Chain A
Amino acid sequence: MRRSTKLAAVVLSGSLGIASLAACGAKSTDDTTASAGASGDSGIKVGMAYDIGGRGDQSFNDSAARGLDKAKADLGVQITEADAKTGEAEADKETRLKSLVTGGYNPIIAVGFVYQSAVEKVAKENPNVKFAIIDSASSTQPANVTSLTFSEQEGSYLAGVAAANKSKAKHVGFIGGVQSELIKKFEAGYVAGAKSVDPNIKVETTYLTTPPDFSGFSSPDKGKEAAQGQLDKGADVIYAAAGSSGSGAIEAVSNKAGTWAIGVDSDQASQPALSKYKNVILTSMVKNVDTAVYTYIKSIKDNAPLTGVKNFDLKAQGVSLATTGGHIDDIKAKLDAATTAITSGATTVPTAP
């Protein structure tokens, strides 16, 4: 009995000791002097925090990276990047953003909706730093946060139209990376597009993971397995909205003759890492994150920063279908008709499946 009370005392005093140590030490942010504008042509230092997968995912993050690179080349801004890892704590995201703030970066662009609460928190603590978040908006976010969102369902609708027109078996597939609201928009648009061509078409739907497991965006093996499953069921055009997992799906499709894959976010047929599969990539639903990122950085440079929620839809060229390889040239008329129907408002694409 006595020993356990002694033990409790030791543990308690130990933890309090560490706690008090923490209280008196210097903060890691103390010694860094905010030196924005000290170097670089334009004096603008842009920090970008990537979603899981990071630069090199051949998809979503790469699209954002292209916008950043273009801003660096054209606008002369200084850039820095930070990656996220799978299964990290909320605090890790906040630390990442805070480190960028400490490094003197302003604006800071967070790529992906998983950053929403972290951006809100850090933005409130740093009202003089401008933040942009891609793919997400919140009614509680402070004024120094700009949301850059896209009408993914409209681009996916066109992908659905293309898939239905190219499918010989009248059987197409959809692979979602993570069963989140965002990816459900892709599914909704794709299914609606396919059904608009042929109401009886069969659509297979597979999600790789369910939140909070976001590994579905960065697991090519899972993508390959899911695509193989859909091919075995008879689908011959597969649209994978799954970040870097999509490359696995494309690989699976390339192993079966007469089938097509549809890429996502970037023009995947022209991505170096995927160029060997370019003959099976029918098209890609390009989400012009690069345009959005570039537009945002330019607006900062021009001293007229974008604020609030900025949505990039089909009309604003925020989403489009890639034509690399010319595989969809033969159905161009049908796609143009669908595009006009959406931009004119004649067709409203659903956002939920």
Chain B
Amino acid sequence: MTSSHSADDGKPADGTSAEGAFADGPPSDGSSGAPGRGGAPAPAKPTAAKRFDGERIALGLAAPVLAVLLSLVICSILLLVSGKNPFDAFDVMLTYGTKSDGQVLTLNRATVYYLAAAAAACGFRMNLFNIGVEGQYRIAALFAAYVGGQMDLPAVIQIPLLLITAMLVGGLWASIAGLLKVYRGVSEVISTIMLNAIASAVVGLLLVPGIFAPEKGTTTNSIQTNPVSASSHFFSIETAGGTLWGFIVIAVIVGVLFQFTLNRTRFGFDLRATGRSETAATASGVNVKRMVLISMAVSGALAGLIGLPDLLQNSFYYGQSFQAGLGFTGIAVALLGRNSPIGMVFSALLFAFLDVSGTQLPLPQNGAFPFEIVQVMQGTIVICVVVAYELVRRYGLKRQQQKVGAELAALAASTAKKEVSA
């Protein structure tokens, strides 16, 4: 239960996000929504509600925009101090971003980041801090690569089979932490972090010649599984800028399902309710233990998908140089996107753009900027966004209070007038 205390820190930012940028809450959701709405007088309702929505969108956007601007300023100062012109650096990045190959790479990267963010956000939405996305996707990708290398079924069976394998392995691995939390009260923050280390060790144990890697490899000094069969290759779209991964469709489906489940199903309501207040959820009949188990497993299952775009579209095998660290990127992307399925689209695109265009910075023909600048930018965005959310939340609260106060005063004035005239 200690975790719920530490979780409270993240809650304010999360709390606003539910009714945040996108005012899509059904009327029944009003209880969780703005107190101002309930107290608003009937006559001014349509216009006031409209204005309020516009303001809410502006407020929702204010925090990420503020964070990005702040990080740009910090990076500019850093570049100036090191004797480089920051605008040249931004120009290099933007120029690459307008090129078709840069865009395709950005979209491919954003696909991966979005899946990672969705996996993390699924837990965050109910105050379940799944830090273990990292280990879950690696172990899931390894098993998917192994199964894909062993079997050669028609693509219509093979690809769903691999998707299910990866989701199952990821979900099972995450469930260890879920079970520990429910039955032994182990904080999922601690257990998932530790499971990351264990996942690395398990991958290291399995990815050796004779177990998951072929006895006699084709390369020296690097070890990888057999390449997955040709039927496992996911469809892709050839564009002028290179190969666009078909997995972007899966990412869109995940996003839509996430949004639908969260806002239109009982499970989603229970999930958000548990995230807001566990005791209140329990009191209203939500089985919190069951929710923890399910959302942990779902989070892990989504994590299982993270490694698949690269596995089924690019490298076709799981090797020792399989990209690590995506789980942690996912947490940052989810944070920036306020755990909202739509917000995370933009944050995933932003992070992908920074990473992809960042590769152009160190090249001598572009001015040999230090590529660390991108990491600094991402780091400062994440820090700034936390601060900015809190600032914007306080400002929004103040605005709300002022508005309610003004409306109440107007109401009081009008009733007083009526009384006088009566």
> Which residues of A does B touch, CB under 8 Å?
1, 3-4, 7-8, 11-12, 14-15, 18-19, 21-30, 80-83, 85-92, 95-96, 99-100, 103, 113-114, 116-117, 135-140, 149, 179-182, 210-214
- 16 A-B residue pairs with Cβ-Cβ distance under 8 Å, sorted by A, are A1-B264, A4-B256, A4-B259, A11-B252, A21-B103, A22-B104, A23-B239, A23-B240, A24-B100, A24-B240, A26-B100, A87-B325, A96-B359, A113-B221, A136-B219, A182-B221
Contact with A along B341-361 (1 / 0, CB 8 A): 010010000000001100110
Expressed in whole angstroms, the Cα–Cα distance for A284 and B24 within the complex equals 66
Number of interface residues of B (CB under 8 A): 63
Establish whether residues B239 and A19, one from each chain, have CB atoms under 8 Å apart when the complex forms. yes
Decide: A210 near B241, CB < 8 A? Known: A26-B100, A90-B314, A136-B220: no
Chain A residues whose CB sits within 8 angstroms of the CB of B321 once the complex forms? 90, 114, 117, 211-212, 214
Chain A residues whose CB sits within 8 angstroms of the CB of B207 once the complex forms? 211
Decide: A114 near B222, CB < 8 A? Known: A27-B100, A211-B204: yes
Q: Separation in Å of the B121 CB from the closest CB of chain A?
A: 15
Q: Is the interface of B mostly helix, strand, loop or mixed?
A: helix
Known A25-B240, A182-B221, A212-B203; further 16 A-B contacts with Cβ < 8 A? A7-B259, A15-B107, A15-B252, A18-B107, A22-B100, A22-B107, A26-B98, A27-B241, A82-B363, A87-B325, A92-B359, A96-B359, A113-B222, A149-B221, A210-B200, A211-B321
Chain B residues whose CB sits within 8 angstroms of the CB of A113 once the complex forms? 219-222
Chain B residues whose CB sits within 8 angstroms of the CB of A19 once the complex forms? 107, 237, 239, 244, 248
Shortest Cβ distance from B321 into A: residue? A114
Chain A residues whose CB sits within 8 angstroms of the CB of B200 once the complex forms? 210, 213
Shortest Cβ distance from A12 into B: residue? B252
Q: Give which listed residue, B221, B364, B375, contacts A80 with CB less than 8 A.
A: B364
Decide: A181 near B101, CB < 8 A? Known: A4-B260, A114-B321, A210-B203: no
Query: Is B396 at the interface (CB under 8 A from chain A)?
Result: no
Establish whether residues B363 and A90, one from each chain, have CB atoms under 8 Å apart when the complex forms. no
Chain A residues whose CB sits within 8 angstroms of the CB of B28 once the complex forms? none
Q: Give which listed residue, A8, A99, A139, contacts B360 with CB less than 8 A.
A: A99
Shortest Cβ distance from A19 into B: residue? B244
Decide: A135 near B324, CB < 8 A? Known: A90-B314, A103-B365: no
Chain A residues whose CB sits within 8 angstroms of the CB of B364 once the complex forms? 80-81, 103
Shortest Cβ distance from B103 into A: residue? A22
Contact with A along B361-373 (1 / 0, CB 8 A): 0111100000110
Q: Give which listed residue, A14, A86, A92, A149, contacts B220 with CB less than 8 A.
A: A149
Decide: A26 near B99, CB < 8 A? Known: A19-B239, A117-B315: yes
Chain B, 45-61, CB within 8 A of any chain A CB: none
Establish whether residues A138 and B248, one from each chain, have CB atoms under 8 Å apart when the complex forms. no
Expressed in whole angstroms, the Cα–Cα distance for A210 and B201 within the complex equals 7
Expressed in whole angstroms, the Cα–Cα distance for A29 and B365 within the complex equals 13
Chain B residues whose CB sits within 8 angstroms of the CB of A138 once the complex forms? 218-220
Chain B, 286-323, CB within 8 A of any chain A CB: 310, 314-315, 319-323
Establish whether residues B365 and A137, one from each chain, have CB atoms under 8 Å apart when the complex forms. no
Q: Separation in Å of the A274 CB from the closest CB of chain B?
A: 23
Expressed in whole angstroms, the Cα–Cα distance for A85 and B376 within the complex equals 13
Shortest Cβ distance from B205 into A: residue? A210
Chain A residues whose CB sits within 8 angstroms of the CB of B360 once the complex forms? 28, 95, 99
Query: Is B13 at the interface (CB under 8 A from chain A)?
Result: no
